[in-house]
Amino acid sequence: MKKVLIANRGEIAIRVARACRVLGLRSVAVYSEADAMARHVRKADEAVCIGPPEPSKSYLDIDRVMDAVRKTGADTVHPGYGFLSENTDFARAVIDAGLTWVGPPPGVIGPLQSKTGAKAQAEAIGLATVPGAVLDDPADEAVLAAAASLGYPVIVKPEAGGGGKGMVRVDRPEDLLAAVAAARRVAKGAFKSDGLFLERHVGHARHIEVQVLGDRHGQVTHVHDRECSVQRRHQKIIEESPCTAITPAEREQICDMAYRFASHVGYEGAGTVEFLWDPQTRKACFLEMNTRIQVEHPVTEVVTGMDLVVAQLRLAAGEPLSRVWQPSEHLPRGHAIEVRLYAEDPANGFLPQTGKLQRVIWPDAPFVRVDAGFETGDVVSMHTDPMLAKIIAWGTDRNDAIARLQGALRETVVHGVVCNLPILVDILHHPDFVSGNLHTTWVEEVYGIGGPALGESPDLEALLALAMAGPSGPPQRVSAREPASHPYSNGFVDPWASIAGVGFGVDGSR
Amino acid sequence: MTIWLETPAGHRVEVLTTPGPEGTRTVVRAGGGDVLVREVMLRQAPNGDWMVESGGVTRTVQVTEDRDVIWLSDPGATDPRSATVVLRKVMSRPSGPPADRHLCTPMTGRVVSVAVKPGEQVRRGQALVVVEAMKMEHVVRAPWDGTVERLACHVGLIVETGGELLVLDRAQAS
């Protein structure tokens, strides 16, 4: 293993390139024409353009990515998350070309792609699952009967889903058929398969997941738990480790369930077993297994001191688990919380936002880590995921981590594109979050589906203090301009007309 | 010079700036320009931060001008949720280097009236074009005495922020 091609973009591509540096490996970035100047391209040792802005013709095009592998002579492919990371055809193409695939073999990925198939495997080894039904009979009566047998509310889920796409909660029978039809359309478009299944909605459930690692020699371990109950539109926005809702005995039990499942499927590489935790029954139900590195892997890294991406590469190279993972050295310590900063408008249904990031300042504080895909001047395009960065804080306990994250977000500046920073800040100060009283629909219940009404009554005094500051720009350009008297300024030099050559008025200076 | 900004809550403030050797003296008024909110000195740090001084006390903020909005971040804001606010430039009087003869619209909207013709002589302050958006009218006035050289707009035209409206020659005498 000498040269790793990273078949991804954004922060995870940068994260993998950094792991390559740690191991003394060369890294190769791939990019679409929209990303020619992107941060992940600049952070890799080499970069290859693989096509037009549309992901289907670039990041998702197996032939194009394999061309880049041949062009650069890479001997290893890391797929990151999303895109082709759980695509068995891609994994097979990499392996058939005689290269190292960083992930489990296609024979492990394939069966876990089907969510109902994965649940069946979990049930086979005695794990509890959320009661559900496959919608293999499309007849209206069959769909209604399946939901009735589970009991409302139900969740409609795509069989080959991911990222919450196509998931809909249905509270009443009269809404079911329309929801199923809509979910089929979304699933067909997003996953090329319109297979759906139903699951009983578990009220006020928490999302708990367990990181696992497996080597190429049959050894598997769990690397402790995470909680990801703060979600909007079934997508996680805040994650932490450890979960504080469960007792040590319950934690051990959930981690053991994950270990047994990973062993059962012969898992290799880094993966995550996800559970739904019912606070009423205090039982964990198996949900699914993700066969890739997760977005929220840093919280596990921060509490264990374990570099999971380095571990992925070493395990892919064939190192035994015992050399990569030492339970006594990687004991979890303290608490870590991650927030995901998205270019989306929380006050407007969390709609994705695009544009140029005119000014970005990431926090630089003790015990705070920033995994960012963007910096000042970068463009958020309509073609790809709007996640700008993950900001992670560690503390000796949960309150400590919350306080550090609150402080870090205060000095986080994103200008030019609306992002979800205000709602993240609000959540971190919310009594429910601070007390850990969370569940997967908490964001929607507290803030509404359409998002919070933040900034309706901002601190006017603070606002006006800000309003007094002028636009920025190279100060030397003020003097570079002719300090001409202005017709409407009574002889005042107009700094705002001069600075950066941009005026506020009808001056035609642009 | 004076600009007008609208806060996210819909408050309008008038900001009057006067540059000097100690920095830019800045007066902010609210309530239609009648209520003095605060008077401060502004200085820009080499890294682009703005230092806001009032009564010997300085605060530091980050400011970015992006087309018709101003992004402001104040890490020390009382309410951390409004540490970053977006202020909209709602209207302003003409400004800019006198050498430029192109008059542009400060906001996106529809041209609702054009009061001049090419070749017409106008006086400083005379209304030339009215742009309307969101029930708000903005009158573009002549920043100097001169002659309308060319019209770049007509009634009903949708113009985007910064779009050219007309070219106004400067009278030689001024």
Contact A507 B37 (CB under 8 A): no
Q: Is A316 helix (H, G, I), strand (E, B) or coil?
A: helix
Q: Which of A178-182, A204-208, B95-99 has the lowest mean pLDDT?
A: B95-99
- ipTM value of the model? 0.78
Least confident of A262-271, A465-474, B53-62: A465-474
CA distance A311 to A279: 33
Q: Does A337 map to a domain?
A: yes
B49 or A19, which is more confident = A19
Q: Which pLDDT tens digit goes with each residue over A375-386?
A: 999 999 888 889
Q: What is the spatial distance between Cα A159 and Cα A151, in angstroms, rounded to a whole number?
A: 20
What is the bridge-based pairing of β-strands A196-200 and A132-134? antiparallel
At B9, is the pLDDT very low, low, confident or very high (cuts 50, 70, 90)?
Answer: low
Under an 8 A CB cutoff, do B26 and A470 touch?
yes
Decide if A292 is catalytic.
yes
Say whether both B140 and B157 belong to one domain: yes
Position A122 in a domain = no
Q: What is the CATH number of the domain that holds A39?
A: 3.40.50.20
pLDDT band, residue A450 (cuts 50/70/90): low
Same domain, B75 and B100: no
Q: The domain containing residue A505 runs over which residues? A: 471-510
Q: Which of A201-205, A309-313, A409-413, B102-106 has the lowest mean pLDDT?
A: B102-106
The verdict on A226 and A170 lying in the same domain is no
Rounded to whole angstroms, the Cα distance separating B94 from B104 reads: 9
A314-342: pLDDT as tens digits: 999 999 999 999 989 999 999 999 999 99
The pLDDT of B4-33, averaged and rounded, is 78
Q: Write down which residue in B75, B90, B105 finishes a domain.
A: B90
What Cα–Cα distance (Å) separates residue A272 from each residue in A79, A106, A290, B65, B158?
16, 16, 5, 43, 53
* Mean pLDDT score, A383-393: 93
Q: What is the pLDDT of residue B42?
A: 87
Which among B8, B37, B49 has CB closest to A458?
Answer: B8
Of the two residues A135 and A94, the one the predictor is more confident about is A94
Give chain B's domain count. Answer: 2
Chain A CB contacts of B101 below 8 Å: 508
Q: Are strands A196-200 and B136-141 parallel, antiparallel or unpaired?
A: unpaired
Q: Judge whether A212 and A223 are in contact, CB under 8 Å.
A: yes
Contact A465 B19 (CB under 8 A): no
- pLDDT score of B76 more than 70: yes
Give the pLDDT band of residue A287 (cuts 50, 70, 90). Answer: very high
For chains A and B, what is the number of CB pairs under 8 angstroms?
Answer: 232
> Do B23 and B76 belong together in one domain?
yes
DSSP state of A88: H
Q: Which chain A residues have a beta carbon less than 8 Å from that of B160? A: none
Average pLDDT over residues A97-106: 98
Least confident window among A331-345, A474-488, B23-37: A474-488
Of the CA atoms within 13 Å of residue B140, those in its CB half-sphere come to 34
Residue at a domain's end among B90, B116, B145: B90
Please determine, for residue B92, whether its predicted confidence score (pLDDT) is greater than 70: no
Q: Are residues A414 and A510 in the same domain?
A: no
Number of structural domains (chain A) is: 4
Same structural domain, A260 and A378: yes
Q: Which of A72-81, A387-396, B51-60 has the lowest mean pLDDT?
A: B51-60
* Closest-CA residue of chain A to B46: A475
Chain A nearest C-alpha distance from B2 (Å): 8
* A174 and A66 belong to one structural domain: no
Q: What does the alpha-carbon distance between residue A223 and residue A28 come to, in Å, rounded to a whole number?
A: 29
Residue A453 near chain B (CB below 8 Å):
no
Whether residues B100 and A509 touch (CB distance < 8 A) is answered with yes
* Cβ separation B100–A488 shorter than 8 A: no
Q: What are the chain A neighbours of B85 within 8 Å (beta carbons)?
A: 455, 458, 463, 466
Q: Quick one: average pLDDT of A197-217? A: 95
Tokens in use for A268?
């290799």
Whether residue B64 is found in the same domain as residue B120: no
Residue B44 shares a structural domain with residue B76: yes
Among A345, A412, A504, pick the best mutation site for testing chain B contact (most B Cβ within 10 A).
A504
Is the bond preceding residue A242 a cis peptide, omega within 30 degrees? Answer: yes
Sheet with A387-395, edge to edge strand ranges: A283-290, A269-278, A206-214, A220-232, A235-241, A335-342, A387-395, A368-372
B149 & B98 share domain: yes
**Smallest Cα distance from B55 to chain A, Å:** 13
pLDDT at B96: 37
CB count, 10 Å around CB of B31?
12
Using a CB-CB cut-off of 8 Å, the residues of chain B touching A341 are none
Cβ contact (<8 Å) for A467 and B87? yes
* Nearest chain A alpha carbon to B3: A504
> B1 to chain A: which residues are within 8 Å by CB?
486, 488-489, 492, 494-497, 504-505
Classify the C-alpha dihedral A453-A459-A463-A466 as positive or negative. Answer: negative
For residue A59, give both structure tokens: 């990041």
Cβ contact (<8 Å) for A459 and B82? yes
- Tell me, yes or no, whether A19 and A147 share the same domain: no
Confidence of residue A494 (pLDDT cuts 50, 70, 90): very low
In terms of domains, do A195 and A212 share one? no
Beta pairing partners, A360: A414
Of B143, B150, B140, B139, nearest in space to B99 by CA:
B143
Out of A104-118, A158-172, A301-315, pick the least confident: A158-172
Last residue of a domain, one of B90, B120, B151: B90
Would you say B108 and B160 are in contact if contact means Cβ atoms under 8 Å apart?
A: yes
- Predicted local distance difference test score (pLDDT) of residue B6: 80
The whole-angstrom distance between A403's CA and the closest CA on chain B is: 13
Give the model's pLDDT for residue A183: 87
Q: Is B24 exposed, middle or buried (0-12, 13-18, 19+ CB in 10 A)?
A: buried
- Are B74 and B7 part of one and the same domain? yes
Residue contact A465–B61, C-beta within 8 A: yes
Here the CATH number for the domain that contains residue B148 is 2.40.50.100
Pairwise CA distance, residues A38 & A315, whole Å: 29
Of A456, A487, A506, the CB nearest to B104: A506
| pLDDT per position as a tens digit, A20-52 | 999 999 999 999 999 999 999 999 999 999 999
Q: Which of A87, A103, A86 is nearest to A4 (CA)?
A: A103
For residue A107, is it within any domain? Answer: no
CB A51 within 8 A of CB A61: yes
In this structure, the answer to whether residues A194 and A267 fall within a common structural domain is no
B150 and B104 belong to one structural domain: yes
In whole angstroms, give the CA distance from residue A2 to residue A27. Answer: 9
CATH number, domain with residue A135: 3.30.1490.20
Per-residue pLDDT for B26 more than 90?
no
A477 touches chain B (CB under 8 A): no
Q: Exactly one of A39, A292, A314, A340 is catalytic; name it.
A: A292
| Mean pLDDT lowest among A100-114, A207-221, B81-95 | B81-95
Phi, psi of A101 (to 5 degrees): -100, 125
Q: Could you give the angle at which helices A10-23 and A308-316 cross, rounded to 10 degrees? A: 60
3-class secondary structure, A150 = helix
pTM: 0.80
- A422 lies in a domain? yes
Nearest CA in chain B to A485: B98
A496 contacts on B by Cβ (under 8 Å)? 1, 3, 17, 95
Q: Do A168 and A188 lie in a common domain? A: yes
Asked whether the predicted pLDDT for residue B97 surpasses 50, the reply is: no
The mean per-residue pLDDT over the stretch A350-355 comes to 84
Write down the mean pLDDT value for chain B.
Answer: 79
Range of the domain at B83: 2-90
Which band of pLDDT confidence, cut at 50, 70 and 90, is reported for residue A502? very low
Whether residue B64 is found in the same domain as residue B104: no
Q: How far is A275 from chain B (nearest CA, A)?
A: 32
Q: A99: which DSSP letter? A: P
> pLDDT band at residue A452, thresholds of 50, 70 and 90?
low
Asked if residue B128 and residue B80 are part of one domain, the reply reads no
